[in-house]
Structure 1
Amino acid sequence: MKYRSTILLIAVAVSLFTSSCMHYYYAPSSNNIPLLKEKNDGNIELKYSVGNYYEGVEVQSAYAVGNHVGVQLNFFTASESEEDYGSGNGSYIEAAGGYFKPTTNHKWVFETYAGIGTGVVNNKYGSAETSKAGVTKFFVQPSFGFTNPYFDIAIASKFSLANFKVKNSSVNKDAFPVDYDDIQLLKNTKSFFIWEPGIMMRGGFKSLKFQGSLTIAVPSNSALSIDNVNYSTGIMIPFKPKKQSQVVPTQ
């Protein structure tokens, strides 16, 4: 039997399409790697993201509030459906703050962000059975990359602790034994460590860059069934507020 279903956990949509009766219950969102270089640098990213069996959109942003301090706000929503088995949809939002340090020539940037995120998924199995699960995620993401006005490339290594909470579930053990066991795992284990490395490339103009990225997810517990990939494409719009000139009153 082949089927697909999505369950989005951690700003993440997840689904399954396999010959064995099981679902994937986690997938990574794309890493936000802004490569800020100085105070008031900022950017907004709009992305279309897909995994093995889900698709969605992401909006990511970053802003340098100091010469070495940046903040992020990221949003992800996704869904997937399968005619014979069911459907799922969910959303996730996260905020982060961190430190960035460019080299003297401003061509290389090291940065580390730490943050928290929250999300929820509503999933439907077959024609009637449903589940609702939430997640709270704590993470640290160091990254390193090359940047200039026309081209960026960087790698990141995100370390996440995901805490799951099954809010309700009507999944029947006899009808969906694997899904039932997976939900019981989330109820009983609750927390999972997940490593999410990734790579990003951007190219274009000073005011607009096109980008692509790949992020994968590797859980510490192999019993957690995951869709372990996120491919994203989109645009990055950099911005920098102009400094207001001071008016000196005349005597």
Structure 2
Amino acid sequence: MKRHYYAGLFLLSVLGITSCNRHIYAPNAANVPLLKEKNEFKASISPNNLHTAFAITDNIAIMANGQYVYRLLPRDNDQNTNDLFLDQDLRGGVVEGAVGFFKPLDKKKRMVFDVYAGGGAGSFKTLAAHNTEASANPSDYLLKNRFSKVFIQPSIGFVHPVIEAAFSSRFSMLNFYNSQIGPRAFENNTTAKDDFLRVADKPIVFYEPAFTFRVGYKYVKFQTQLLFSVPLNDENFSQYQTNQYFQQVGFMMGASVDIAHWYDNFRKKR
């Protein structure tokens, strides 16, 4: 009997995550370059993210990141298309830059540690509810906000001409502002409206660990990343959980390009 009870609770929690999301923040993929030497350049691209990084010395690097979230397919008004990974009504993104320190940890330079600190700005918009009325104006249900962010991201990883694997721990602090609510977004529900506005009361800190994996040969690799985003602030909303405002899981697939001299000398040093 207890098994059925806990199974029911689990199912309800999953449905809660997937059925009522009104995301106003989706974390961008972590840029994990794992550079090894001066003048090394690495870039990666996926459907929603563009990353670049360049080593200006043997230990100092800069990075620039961009994100744009959009809906690939039209939303079916008769079906809830929200899922664990993305609110299908969400649009927007962020632009950010950072400066970092990197250092190989062994003589063969196969293990690399790096840490980047930076900031950026962005905005997102979504709809407060799925509306099935053909005559409805989507702007009546609009939720929109802007935000600034600062972050620090330490990473450690294994780097090889064929395979790269890394773990990152990114801490991001976001300050939401300029919140906008459509006239029918929280119609007859002042509690939900107050909850949404409370998001901008103070900065929110997110812990965003990421697992990055690349496979290919030398300069071009297939890249995939699984990222989690956990708000650390202890907010007690009256009616909604924080996962209905903040996307908590991100999965990215794309390609990585690395221009470096160490590939040419790899076999010589073996």
| TM-score between the two structures when normalised by the length of structure 2 | 0.73
Matched, 1:235 2:255: yes
Q: Is the 8 A contact 2:112 2:159 kept in 1?
A: yes
1:239 CA drift (Å): 1.6
Distance 1:239 1:98 in 2: 18
Which residue is equivalent to 2:264?
none
Q: How does 1:1-251 map to 2 (within 5 A)?
A: 17-18=18-19, 21=20, 23-48=22-47, 57-80=48-71, 82-84=75-77, 87-103=89-105, 104-125=107-128, 126=131, 127=137, 128-172=140-184, 173-175=186-188, 179-187=192-200, 189-221=201-233, 223=235, 224-225=242-243, 226-240=246-260
Deviations 1:203-240 (CA, angstroms, capped at 9, x unpaired): 11112111111110111135433220110111101124
1:178 CA drift (Å): 6.5
Q: Is the 8 A contact 2:24 2:126 kept in 1?
A: no
Distance 1:175 1:120 in 2: 26
Alpha carbons of structure 1 residues 196 and 97: separation in structure 2 relative to 1, 3 Å: same
Alpha carbons of structure 1 residues 182 and 25: separation in structure 2 relative to 1, 3 Å: farther
Segments of structure 2 that go 5 or more residues without pairing to the other structure are: 1-16, 81-87, 132-136, 236-241, 262-270
Deviations 1:181-201 (CA, angstroms, capped at 9, x unpaired): 3421123x2310110001111
Alpha carbons of structure 1 residues 171 and 160: separation in structure 2 relative to 1, 3 Å: farther
Distance 2:99 2:29 in 1: 17
Deviations 1:122-170 (CA, angstroms, capped at 9, x unpaired): 3344432323210101000000011011110110000111100134322
Q: Is the 8 A contact 2:24 2:145 kept in 1?
A: no
Q: Is the 8 A contact 1:26 1:228 kept in 2?
A: no
Which residue is equivalent to 1:8?
none
Alpha carbons of structure 1 residues 136 and 197: separation in structure 2 relative to 1, 3 Å: same
Q: Is the 8 A contact 1:116 1:138 kept in 2?
A: yes
Q: Which has the higher strand share?
A: 1
Q: Is the 8 A contact 1:171 1:179 kept in 2?
A: no
Which residue is equivalent to 1:54?
none
1:89 CA drift (Å): 1.1
Percent identical among aligned pairs is: 28
Q: Is the 8 A contact 1:131 1:171 kept in 2?
A: no
Aligned residue for 2:46, secondary structure, equals strand
Distance 2:29 2:127 in 1: 25
* Greater shift in the superposed pair: 33-42 or 178-187: 178-187
Alpha carbons of structure 1 residues 171 and 194: separation in structure 2 relative to 1, 3 Å: farther
Residue 100 of structure 2 aligns with an amino acid whose one-letter code is G
Aligned residue for 2:218, secondary structure, equals coil
Distance 1:231 1:31 in 2: 11
Distance 2:189 2:62 in 1: 43
| TM-score between the two structures when normalised by the length of structure 1 | 0.78
Segments of structure 1 that go 5 or more residues without pairing to the other structure are: 1-15, 49-56, 242-251
Q: Which has the higher helix share?
A: 2
CA RMSD of aligned residues (A): 2.3
